[in-house]
């Protein structure tokens, strides 16, 4: 009987090692490419040993997601215990930065990308999404009890953007030494709390003339464009694994043969979806650049147009979570283009320093917060649909950038 605690402890340690190894693989290669054999190899076991703890791969994936969400919730609860909103935001950011610091120094982490949850069985999916909503509720509670539905919508948007910023942080944190993490942490908190423009709360976007980036409802799409639209929407909603060739073909009422007539493989289609999304984003950026007025006016006009796409266009931009599915070489090319678009946003901010329309913030950090805010906007489509006025939905969501999360909009 005396040996039982040791056996139980060893079982728990081995199980944790398996879950953490799977977490790393999911982040690097996606769910589909993560196999029990690869997980076993990563920690020096054979596949049979892993199946002792997790007989099926989906059980392991669910455990990875469940422990990731549990970690998110623990960090949200710890931050919620702070006595002011600014301290809560700062603590939440600090905990995420500290986790990335530990991982960079050798600790295996549990912060797996959650993009494939909707590809799981409905029962598993429902349980995980319920747990994730509890995290969102905790972060929304940072902002206090809403006075009315309008304020509740604002707090929901702020919570969503804050979480998305922290889930995007592991991607761009790789550009920094851990020695720079404390400074970057301070800059993240500053931007989230106080926004971007020199005149806090300034929001006067100019309508951009569409140069082909919007879907024209009065014009039928070409079949290839229909494939891109259907794949983009399905990947955004169900993740790479959930967006099967069968589902994409069924959504368009065509055969699998028709799909493969246009595309060599699903990965080929995903890459084209990224290229189309980045082409559209780039066109919007350049249209904003050609405007007259301050650089904050130009940037806010770009953001306004891109949010219109994410919230209301039938073909939104592809979420960056689909990156996991691409092979290493292709992924590098896609990430490089994403970084170029982010740097272009940084250029607007730097020019805004010169004309006095943007306050003194770190432009590289701010550009990544902009990218995560845009990327996460697709998930807020249902939130935006509750507004009678589309412009109000966009302005409310982007108020995090125009005035920061500490602004009182009551």
- 65 to 31, 128, 170, 221: CA distances (angstroms): 11, 7, 16, 37
For the ranges 47-51, 201-205, 216-220, 365-369, the lowest mean pLDDT is seen at: 216-220
Residue with more model confidence, 158 or 328: 158
Residues 369 and 346 sit within 8 Å (Cβ to Cβ): no
pLDDT of residue 3: 46
pLDDT of residue 248: 74
Instruction: Give tens-digit pLDDT for 131-168.
Output: 999 999 999 999 999 999 999 999 999 999 999 999 99
pLDDT surpassing 70 at residue 254: no
Write out the two tokens for 301. Answer: 């006009």
Residue with more model confidence, 218 or 250: 250
The pTM (predicted TM-score) of the whole model is: 0.88
For the ranges 38-52, 102-116, 363-377, the lowest mean pLDDT is seen at: 102-116
pLDDT of residue 26: 79
Write out the two tokens for 182. Answer: 């404390």
Percent of the chain with pLDDT over 70: 88
Confidence tier at 258 by pLDDT (50, 70, 90): low
pLDDT of residue 41: 87
pLDDT, mean of residues 280-307: 95
pLDDT, mean of residues 296-323: 90
Percent of the chain with pLDDT over 90: 51
Residue with more model confidence, 339 or 226: 339
pLDDT, mean of residues 9-23: 83
pLDDT, mean of residues 305-327: 83
pLDDT surpassing 60 at residue 384: yes
């Amino acid at each position: 009987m005396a040996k039982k605690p040791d056996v139980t402890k060893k079982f728990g340690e081995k199980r944790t090692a398996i879950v953490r190894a799977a977490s790393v693989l999911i982040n690097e290669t996606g769910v589909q490419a993560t196999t029990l054999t690869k997980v076993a190899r990563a920690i020096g076991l054979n596949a049979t040993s892993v199946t002792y703890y997790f007989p099926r791969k989906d059980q392991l994936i669910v455990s990875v997601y469940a422990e990731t969400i549990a970690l998110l919730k623990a960090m949200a609860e710890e931050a919620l215990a702070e006595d002011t909103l600014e301290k809560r935001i700062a603590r939440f950011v600090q905990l995420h930065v500290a986790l990335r610091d530990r991982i960079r120094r050798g600790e295996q982490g549990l912060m797996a990308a959650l993009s494939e949850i909707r590809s799981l069985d409905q029962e598993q999916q429902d349980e995980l999404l319920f747990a994730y909503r509890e995290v969102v509720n905790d972060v929304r509670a940072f902002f206090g009890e809403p006075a009315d539905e309008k304020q509740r919508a604002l707090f929901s948007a702020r919570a969503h953007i804050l979480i998305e910023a922290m889930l995007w942080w592991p991607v761009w944190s790789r550009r920094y030494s851990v020695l720079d993490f404390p400074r970057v942490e301070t800059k993240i908190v500053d931007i989230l709390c106080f926004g971007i423009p020199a005149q806090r709360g300034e929001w006067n976007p100019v309508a951009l003339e569409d140069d082909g980036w919007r879907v024209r409802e009065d014009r039928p799409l070409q079949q290839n464009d229909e494939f891109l639209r259907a794949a983009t929407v399905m990947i955004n909603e169900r993740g790479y694994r959930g967006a099967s060739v069968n589902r994409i073909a069924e959504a368009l009422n065509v055969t699998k043969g028709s799909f493969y007539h246009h595309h060599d493989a699903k990965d080929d289609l995903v890459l084209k979806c990224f290229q189309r999304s980045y082409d559209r984003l780039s066109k919007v950026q350049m249209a904003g650049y050609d405007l007259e007025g301050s650089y904050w006016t130009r940037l806010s006009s770009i953001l306004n147009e891109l949010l219109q796409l994410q919230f209301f266009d039938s073909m939104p931009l592809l979420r960056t979570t689909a990156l996991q599915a691409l092979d290493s070489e292709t992924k590098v090319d896609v990430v490089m283009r994403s970084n170029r678009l982010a740097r272009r946003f940084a250029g607007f901010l730097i020019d805004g320093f010169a004309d006095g329309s943007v306050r003194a913030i770190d432009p590289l950090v701010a550009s990544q917060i902009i990218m995560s805010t845009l990327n996460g906007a697709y998930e807020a489509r249902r939130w935006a649909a509750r507004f009678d006025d589309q412009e109000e939905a966009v302005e409310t969501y982007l108020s995090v950038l125009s005035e920061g999360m500490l602004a009182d909009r009551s």
